[in-house]
Amino acid sequence: MRTDDSVAVRKFAVALDGGIISPNTLLLIQAKTGDVGEVSRSLETMDEILEVYEVMGERNIACKAVVHNMTELKCLMKKINQTKVGNVEFSIVLKAIKGEYLHNRK
């Protein structure tokens, strides 16, 4: 038992390589646009996009995409931001509870 205020370890952190994410990382993307038809057509031409949906709520476009590394993620984000969208939200799927998930596929 320590009786003094000294601490041997003051901070512990894990540093991950920013260029690597799991292969076949599934993304959920939601966006707000004034022209759902035009943006949907743009999104469906992108190779990384698997599915595109028109949805109701704060955002009116939702889609699923797969990327293999941070470079692909940044490229996809840039392509999406060049369309007529605003208020884009990207979420990385950590674990699928139910449904098809491509994480373990080659």
HEC sequence for 22-86: CCCEEEEEEEECCCHHHHHHHHHCCCCEEEEEECCCCCCEEEEEEECCHHHHHHHHHHHHCCCCE
Tokens 């969208």 belong to residue: 85
The two structure tokens encoding residue 23? 């292969």
Q: What is the pLDDT of residue 86?
A: 80
Structure confidence at residue 79 (pLDDT) = 93
Residue type for 16, please? L
The correct answer on CATH 3.30.70.920 for the domain covering 25-92 is yes
Domain boundaries, given as residue ranges, for the chain: 25-92
**Residue 17 DSSP one-character state:** -
Per-residue pLDDT of the chain (106 residues; tens, 9 = 90+): 555 566 566 566 555 555 556 678 899 999 998 889 999 999 999 999 999 999 999 899 999 999 998 899 999 999 998 888 888 999 998 888 887 655 544 4
